[in-house]
Structure 1
Amino acid sequence: MPRTPTPAVSPHLVDPTQAVLFDARRNWRCFAVGSSRTVPTLTPAAEALLEEFERHARKHGWNASPRNSAAMTLRILLGWLGAEAPIHEADIRAVADHRRNAGIRRVLQFLDGHGMVIPDPARRGEAPERAVEQRIAALPDAIAEEMRCWVRVLRGEGRRPHPQFPFATIRSYLNCLRPELAAWTEHVTSLREITRDDIEASLDRQPPVTARNLLSALHSLFRALKQERVIFRDPTRGMSLPTMRRLPAPIPTDRLHGLIDRAEGPMAKLVVALIAIHGLHIQETTHVLLEDLDLPTGRLLVRRDTHHHTVYLDELTHALAGNWLHERRRLWSRTSNPHLLVSQVTSADTTLPPVSHHVTDTIFVRLGLTASQLRRDRILDEAAHTADPVHLMRVFGISAKTSMTYVQAAHPERRSTGPR
């Protein structure tokens, strides 16, 4: 049987001394698929870089499947472009567009650590900033430009000096506004056309807490546009809603039955237990460090902004924590990620992040609940049994005001209804 000829070196190797006449985006559709036999022969420098990547992957304990996928992506890039010059981030991501499970994050971080990535200007900025721009870009042009004007004001770039809001806060405002903006764009072409009646109709459709958040975002939007003289009058001027606190309501018992048993996998079971039994917030659960768990004493330290809260593990949570540690060591014994909860992605991420919202959201989507619902139900159940706000403060580390809210919800007959 004749031997398959060895592929030649790529004719498209990047020469670092070659000047650039103009930038053109490469089309990787035909080159990002197929087996390693279709990739050009690697240069010695590319071969050495690929071997270093393999050592890096094994050192960090990557599983075989993601390791091999990422190595193949890197081999394609080095085979066609070589290792003599940095590679455009757009090219790296373009290869991943045509390959499933391409390990793009791993390849990017490895090459970036070697100074081998030319950043994509279109992707500059943090994730909240990109999210804001992407959501605004989906709006009609005229309204999108008005929204960008609002963003500039919040970033301190308006006609008058203002404190600079972080993009994470702007994204939260925008999340409140998106449903209303989508509804308005069906019958207006500019926010100048929005009237007070439109604002009141939007607020009337919301439950009390959501309405208050929406009104705050609307105040911010229309005050900024009025300041920049984009609109003539602010339709939210003088509008307010009565101060009210929504009392938590219990989740039906049939929805809670067997939650931990239904959770899929050791990590999911531990996450559900920490929220359903110990009333932790989902965000603080993902930020717990491995060193914060002390199994011999049965304690878990939760680091909060103003104080630390100690969780005393019950027998079930203690067992689930032990099961998860065993699974964590089995899958990712070499990861340097300091967080108690890690995933296939974060175990290999050199920036050492906590697990993503997508990972935790998926756990509760499969259970038909949200983490916040489950946490509220746990505290409400405890309040029903004790009616002691101090006890709630000690067990869950919550404030006096919050604990009183739960006691009032669990025992409405004790709430004062007389004049104050």
Structure 2
Amino acid sequence: MWAGDEPRLAWLAYLSEAAERLAEAEGWSSDLRYQVAQTLQALVAGTLPGLAVKASDVDRLRGRGRNVTRARQVLRFLDLLDDDRPDRADAWLRERTKGLAPAIQMEIIAWAQALRSGGGRMRAKSDLTWRHYVADVVDAAHQWSERYGSLREVTRDDVITVLSAPRPGDGHNLVTALRSLFSFLKRDRRAFRNPTSRLPRRLTRRPVASIPQPLDRSVMDEIGVARESPTAWLVVVLAAHHALTPNPIRLLRLEHLDLTGRRMQVADQARFIDDLTLTALIDYLAYRQTRWPRTANPHLLLSQQTAHHDGPTSRWWVRHAARLRSATLDALRCDRILEEALAQGHRDPLHIAATFGLHPDTAQRYADAAFDTARA
């Protein structure tokens, strides 16, 4: 292959060496290594040695037995990737704000970009969160675009009118999004006042939460099926025994576990690892080591995709991994908290809050629900 073409051979060797370093660091499987090698060979055949490569040119190499995503990673690792692909999030944002008054559109785009990247006193939001914020605000912005050229003209009465109108869901998300938007505009000196300050309590109060309900005993049989899978069983134990939601479950890292000391760090709370949890963890860690012996991902739970990089799994993956048919992880968590509340023999929200790391108001709601249900 390319006999006598020393520059191209050297170019392939250089890329292959970088790929091997990444493969060792991230624990790529033999299949993935082969796919990357095939992609790099095709890349070298069609590019000039030593020059930066456009991401769009790499994407054109897609095909059976190739992996363009990891090939781009190799080039990015060597600072040889010219990422000329359009920003999908930016395209979505501009499409979502299309039709607004030009100044209002730019103000919302500036806010959304700050939500994405963070900075100043604003923490970066997840992709899902900032998109929801924008979607919540855009409908109101369309109404204001009919009368105003800029959001700095929006008044407190305009905000009250929007919040008073019927809308899907509990409506509190819109309050949060509008407060975030106008706080940003004032902080960035794009507006002189914040029309969301000192709003009537009736518009900003969270709706009354639903009353927690115990799990129907008829679904307990399907929980036993989860024992057949180390991954499913660990997820079920963390949700049904430790009352964790999918997000902290997916964010657990190996460094958070102290099996010898029987401690597990969940956010800023240390949890005791009992025998049930210890067995589930040991079984899963043995499976994890057998399945992905070379992975460098620091997170406890791995999927086929995340095993080859350092990010966590998704909330959807955690819910799907539990292999539950009718029950949900949220229902298992709720049932566990109610069980703990009843076990105290009296309403003790402080114990519930300390045990599961809940807000006192949430703990009170569970304590009340547990004893009201038992009395009924």
TM range, smaller chain: 0.7 to 0.9
Whichever residue aligns with residue 45 of structure 1, its letter is: A
What's the counterpart of residue 380 of structure 1? 338
Whichever residue aligns with residue 118 of structure 1, its letter is: D
Against the structure 1 CA distance between its residues 114 and 413, is the aligned structure 2 distance closer, same or farther, given a 3 Å change threshold?
Answer: closer
1:68 aligns with 2:68: no
What's the counterpart of residue 309 of structure 1? 270
1:392 aligns with 2:352: yes
Q: Does the 8 A contact of 1:275 with 1:375 survive in 2?
A: yes
User: 2: CA distance between counterparts of 1:170 and 1:109?
Assistant: 21
What's the counterpart of residue 371 of structure 2? 411
Q: Does the 8 A contact of 1:155 with 1:164 survive in 2?
A: no
Against the structure 1 CA distance between its residues 361 and 91, is the aligned structure 2 distance closer, same or farther, given a 3 Å change threshold?
Answer: farther
| Percentage identity across paired residues of the two chains | 25
- Give the superposed CA RMSD: 4.3
Structure 1 unaligned segments of length 5 or more: list them.
1-5, 11-40, 124-129, 157-161, 416-420
Q: Which has the higher contact order (CA 8 A, sep 6+)?
A: 2
Q: What are the superposed Cα offsets for residues 283-334 of structure 1, whole Å, 9 maximum, x if unpaired? A: 222232223333455x242142xx332232342x332222211111112222
Q: SS where residue 309 of structure 1 aligns?
A: strand
1:286 aligns with 2:250: yes
What's the counterpart of residue 317 of structure 2? 359
Structure 2 unaligned segments of length 5 or more: list them.
149-157
User: 1: CA distance between counterparts of 2:32 and 2:185?
Assistant: 48
Against the structure 1 CA distance between its residues 319 and 73, is the aligned structure 2 distance closer, same or farther, given a 3 Å change threshold?
Answer: same
What's the counterpart of residue 151 of structure 2? none
Against the structure 1 CA distance between its residues 223 and 279, is the aligned structure 2 distance closer, same or farther, given a 3 Å change threshold?
Answer: closer
Of 343, 347, 367 in structure 1, the residue corresponding to residue 307 of structure 2 is 347
Against the structure 1 CA distance between its residues 73 and 155, is the aligned structure 2 distance closer, same or farther, given a 3 Å change threshold?
Answer: closer
User: 2: CA distance between counterparts of 1:234 and 1:392?
Assistant: 38
Q: Does the 8 A contact of 1:150 with 1:221 survive in 2?
A: yes
Of 185, 193, 201 in structure 1, the residue corresponding to residue 165 of structure 2 is 201
1:335 aligns with 2:299: no
Against the structure 1 CA distance between its residues 262 and 45, is the aligned structure 2 distance closer, same or farther, given a 3 Å change threshold?
Answer: same
What's the counterpart of residue 77 of structure 1? 43
Against the structure 1 CA distance between its residues 122 and 260, is the aligned structure 2 distance closer, same or farther, given a 3 Å change threshold?
Answer: farther
Deviation at 1:341, TM superposition (A): 1.9
What's the counterpart of residue 165 of structure 1? 122
Q: Does the 8 A contact of 1:108 with 1:117 survive in 2?
A: yes
What's the counterpart of residue 175 of structure 1? 132
Q: Does the 8 A contact of 1:180 with 1:202 survive in 2?
A: no
TM-score by length of 1: 0.67
- 1:122-201 matches, cutoff 5 A: 122-123=86-87, 131=89, 133-139=90-96, 141-143=98-100, 146-152=104-110, 165-168=122-125, 172=129, 174-176=131-133, 178=135, 181=138, 190=145, 192=147, 199-201=163-165
Q: Does the 8 A contact of 2:231 with 2:321 survive in 1?
A: no
User: 2: CA distance between counterparts of 1:44 and 1:102?
Assistant: 20
User: 2: CA distance between counterparts of 1:153 and 1:338?
Assistant: 33
Q: Does the 8 A contact of 2:299 with 2:312 survive in 1?
A: yes
What's the counterpart of residue 240 of structure 2? 276
Deviation at 1:400, TM superposition (A): 3.8
1:249 aligns with 2:215: no
User: 1: CA distance between counterparts of 2:121 and 2:60?
Assistant: 35
Q: What are the superposed Cα offsets for residues 333-380 of structure 1, whole Å, 9 maximum, x if unpaired? A: 22222222223333322xx32334453243368645654444233212
User: 2: CA distance between counterparts of 1:278 and 1:411?
Assistant: 21
Deviation at 1:44, TM superposition (A): 1.2
User: 2: CA distance between counterparts of 1:273 and 1:300?
Assistant: 15
User: 2: CA distance between counterparts of 1:9 and 1:182?
Assistant: 64
What's the counterpart of residue 217 of structure 1? 177
Whichever residue aligns with residue 44 of structure 1, its letter is: L
Whichever residue aligns with residue 325 of structure 1, its letter is: L
Against the structure 1 CA distance between its residues 180 and 371, is the aligned structure 2 distance closer, same or farther, given a 3 Å change threshold?
Answer: farther
Deviates more, 1:45-54 or 1:317-326: 45-54
Whichever residue aligns with residue 24 of structure 2, its letter is: K
Deviation at 1:274, TM superposition (A): 0.7
Q: What are the superposed Cα offsets for residues 223-253 of structure 1, whole Å, 9 maximum, x if unpaired? A: 8789968xxx979994524455515422642
User: 2: CA distance between counterparts of 1:184 and 1:369?
Assistant: 40
Deviation at 1:175, TM superposition (A): 0.7
Larger helix proportion, structure 1 or 2?
2
Q: Does the 8 A contact of 1:154 with 1:165 survive in 2?
A: no
What count of residue pairs does the alignment treat as equivalent?
Answer: 352
